[in-house]
Structure 1
Amino acid sequence: MPITEQQLLQILPKARPVAGIFLPALNRAMLRWKIDSRVRTAAFLAQVGHESGQLRALSENLNYSADALVRTWPSRFTAETAPTYARQSEKIANRVYGGRMGNGPESSGDGWRYRGRGLIQLTGRANYRAAAQALGLPLEEQSELLEQPEHAAQSAAWWWAQHGLNELADAGRFKDIGSIINTGQPGRTPNGAAERQALYDIAMRVLA
């Protein structure tokens, strides 16, 4: 069920400057990956709307203060080490994402190279590689491609389908969808849970 620009802006009003660019990309991606019913579309738009600041942030913002680093990644930063990373986005990404998700160690620069991008904030070299194979794009070599609307939408819809989120939407398990996207496991409360739910409620009304 393709959506109209009017519907998109009713759901994500802050997307007004980019709605015309994203609308065809979103409709193509949702069609390709079978996000094709009211509940699937509402859930998808609500989650990617939250993850991307309503389609306006296609690259992860890692501009954290020292206090925020310790709160967000207590296993990676202490009160002593955090000040040497604070407000240095590239250095922070390499620290928090280094040595996991298919990335090389902190010194490799993979953390920054494969930081969260696209409408669902695809993160880590392993995810970029899998998306590259599925979408036929050279994402490992040109990771910034995920900041283009078409690829941002396709990568998000591909990840959504790969993780069984259409089926969770069908089952009405919207909260679990947010948990899987944000925390990697159902049942845990994701960041921004209230906003995700509010966007979903709006989308369900708009798409009725």
Structure 2
Amino acid sequence: MHWYDELELARPAVSVDLLRAAMPGAPDVEEWADELSEALAWAKIRDKAEVAMFLAQVGHESSDLTRLEENMNYTAKRLTEVWPRRYPTLEAAAPYARNPKALANHTYGGRMGNTMPGDGWRFRGRGPIQLTGRENYARCAKATGLKLITHPDLLATMPRYGAMAAAWYWLDRVTPGADIITVTKQVNGGRHGLDDRKRRYERILAHHR
């Protein structure tokens, strides 16, 4: 390895300017740039195209790092639209409308490793790429050393936790070098927000040039 290759690897994967280009509305950009760089270094994600894909997906999923906790506050009508199989009628949804804790426990309880009372709420979606369920929290904690089982709320309040969890999720779920449609499905489960993800990706790549 030449000295200039080492210099390239030593540079932060996410500079403050790059983060601002990727996520114009991001708060605390210096801290987030540092933590995302550390997380990507831990995950050995250095390729510029993959970094761009990661940032594009994180930016959309978290609304520029401003939405780091799952919204569980729905009207009954909205519940029938979001989870039509689980809440097929307004009557079925009514007990959980505008009741986030009850909704999380009912929706997530008994699955995704949620075996204890209250686990659905305790391990609801958090982080830039939201982790959901005790099993995912535990797997991420084991891989990263983060104290997610005892302090799950830190995923939504500490950039270090959020950045590391997002990098872990990427390693665990995303196919390296895949196209943006495939990656979006792996991150989101569908094509939601695909146009915005594409715009972000192209903007980040342009910033790299």
| Pair in the same fold by TM > 0.5 | yes
Q: Which residue of 1 aligns with 2:129?
A: 120
The gaps in structure 1 that reach 5 residues or longer are 184-188
Are 2:174 and 2:186, in contact at CA under 8 Å, matched by a contact in 1?
no
Give, in whole Å, the separation in 2 of the partners of 1:195 and 1:56: 16
CA shift, 1:192, in A, is 1.8
Alignment partner for residue 95 of structure 2, among 84, 89, 99? 84
Are 1:4 and 1:23, in contact at CA under 8 Å, matched by a contact in 2?
yes
The aligned runs of 1:43-192 (5 Å cut-off) are 43-77=53-87, 78-104=89-115, 108-147=117-156, 148-165=158-175, 167=176, 170-171=177-178, 173-183=179-189, 189-192=190-193
Q: What is the letter of the counterpart of residue 207 of structure 2?
A: V
Cα distance change, pair 176–128 in 1 and its aligned pair in 2 (3 A): same
Q: Which residue of 1 aligns with 2:51?
A: 41
Are 1:114 and 1:128, in contact at CA under 8 Å, matched by a contact in 2?
yes
SS of residue in 1 equivalent to 2:52: helix
TM-score, L = length of structure 1? 0.88
45-54 vs 79-88, which deviates more? 79-88
Q: What is the letter of the counterpart of residue 138 of structure 1?
A: K
1:206 to 2:172 alignment: no
CA shift, 1:47, in A, is 0.6
CA RMSD across the alignment: 1.5
Are 2:123 and 2:137, in contact at CA under 8 Å, matched by a contact in 1?
yes
Are 2:14 and 2:34, in contact at CA under 8 Å, matched by a contact in 1?
no
Q: How many residues in Structure 1 have an aligned counterpart in Structure 2?
A: 196
CA shift, 1:73, in A, is 0.5
Alignment partner for residue 30 of structure 2, among 2, 6, 20? 20
Give, in whole Å, the separation in 1 of the partners of 2:167 and 2:114: 23
Aligned residues: percent identity?
40
Give, in whole Å, the separation in 2 of the partners of 1:10 and 1:54: 11
Structure showing greater radius of gyration is 2
CA shift, 1:2, in A, is 1.8
SS of residue in 2 equivalent to 1:137: coil
Q: What is the letter of the counterpart of residue 61 of structure 2?
A: E
Are 1:35 and 1:44, in contact at CA under 8 Å, matched by a contact in 2?
no
Please give the per-residue CA displacement for 1:10-67, whole angstroms capped at 9, x wherever unaligned: 121011x321220100000011102211111110001111111111122111221211
Give, in whole Å, the separation in 2 of the partners of 1:87 and 1:201: 38
Give, in whole Å, the separation in 2 of the partners of 1:93 and 1:203: 35
Q: Which residue of 2 aligns with 1:11?
A: 22
Q: Which residue of 2 aligns with 1:197?
A: 198
CA shift, 1:194, in A, is 2.0
Please give the per-residue CA displacement for 1:129-150, whole angstroms capped at 9, x wherever unaligned: 0011111122112111212100
Q: What is the letter of the counterpart of residue 97 of structure 1?
A: Y
TM-score, L = length of structure 2? 0.88
Give, in whole Å, the separation in 2 of the partners of 1:197 and 1:96: 31
Are 2:141 and 2:149, in contact at CA under 8 Å, matched by a contact in 1?
yes
Are 1:18 and 1:55, in contact at CA under 8 Å, matched by a contact in 2?
no
Are 1:5 and 1:20, in contact at CA under 8 Å, matched by a contact in 2?
yes
